[in-house]
Amino acid sequence: MEQKKIKLSIVILTIFLINLLIPTTYVKAWEIDDDGYVNYIVDGDTFDVTSVGRIRLADINCPELGDPGADEATQFLTSLIYNKDVFIDIDDIYGTGPYGRIIAVVYVYYDDNYFQNINQALLDAGHAVITDYDNEFNPYTWDILVEYDSGAPMWDPVPNDQNWELSTSYSYDVDATDPSGISEYWINDTENFQINNNGLISNK
């Protein structure tokens, strides 16, 4: 029986969804649910992100437009995120607020090792005050910088070339580990193969 040997080139896409930071008395979890490009600033705590929608920064309040300090808060937010990619942790309880805006904690690249928490940056700069609404977030535990994992995931074990008979069903389980977690597996040959989020490859 003729056998066909195919080398599967598999790529893992790691999204920084969950990163546990463990201080001495509690566990804080932060995640990235979505990301996009900031194309419009409404005011100090509201802005638009391409392909995501209108974002309302969770659990902080900046001065309303026309009130003292509003222009300064808007300018400060603009300097941090306008025309930049941002990473969005969306409230897991409600998702959106009463005006249909996405409630979120938002991060932007700070350097090669850290994200900057934009909600906390506005608080630290004196442009916002805490208003602890009913959602998943606790603004009293935020850090201004959070570390992200920029390293590549590790195969466990490394996938090998596989041989199987033509016209027979095929499956092969692969696994990887990463401190930030594995959100999704991808495979380059989607015409002949598919892979699920648990790393199980099968032929079509």
Calpha distance 88→52 (Å, rounded): 9
Q: What is the predicted pLDDT for the residue at 190? A: 78
User: Long-range contacts made by residues 1-5, C-beta under 8 angstroms, separation at least 24?
Assistant: 1/165, 1/166, 2/165, 2/166, 3/163, 3/164, 3/165, 3/166, 4/163, 4/164, 4/166, 5/161, 5/162, 5/163
How do the residues of the chain divide into helix, strand and coil, expressed in percent and rounded to 5? 10, 40, 50
Same domain, 185 and 126: no
pLDDT tens across 140-194, in order? 999 999 887 656 677 777 777 777 777 778 777 878 776 666 667 777 777 778 8
Q: 90 vs 23, 132, 163, 166, 173, CA distance in Å?
A: 23, 15, 44, 46, 32
Calpha distance 26→37 (Å, rounded): 33
Same domain, 130 and 160: no
Count of domains forming the chain: 2
Same domain, 133 and 169: no
Calpha distance 201→170 (Å, rounded): 8
Name the pLDDT band for 56 (thresholds 50, 70, 90). Answer: very high
Same domain, 107 and 136: yes
Q: What is the predicted pLDDT for the residue at 14? A: 31
pLDDT tens across 76-126, in order? 999 999 999 999 999 989 999 999 999 999 999 999 888 999 999 999 999
Same domain, 103 and 185: no
Number of H helices, E strands in the chain: 2, 20
**148 or 65, which is more confident:** 65
Sort 183 into a burial class: Cβ within 10 Å, 0-12 / 13-18 / 19+.
middle
Q: What is the predicted pLDDT for the residue at 15? A: 30
Same domain, 142 and 180: no
Q: What is the predicted pLDDT for the residue at 160? A: 76
Same domain, 121 and 38: yes
Is residue 157 reached through a cis peptide bond, with omega within 30 degrees of 0 on the bond before it? yes
Q: Are strands 60-61 and 3-6 parallel, antiparallel or unpaired?
A: unpaired
Are 64 and 70 in contact by the 8 Å Cβ rule? The answer is: yes
Same domain, 64 and 125: yes
The CATH number for 30's domain is: 2.40.50.90
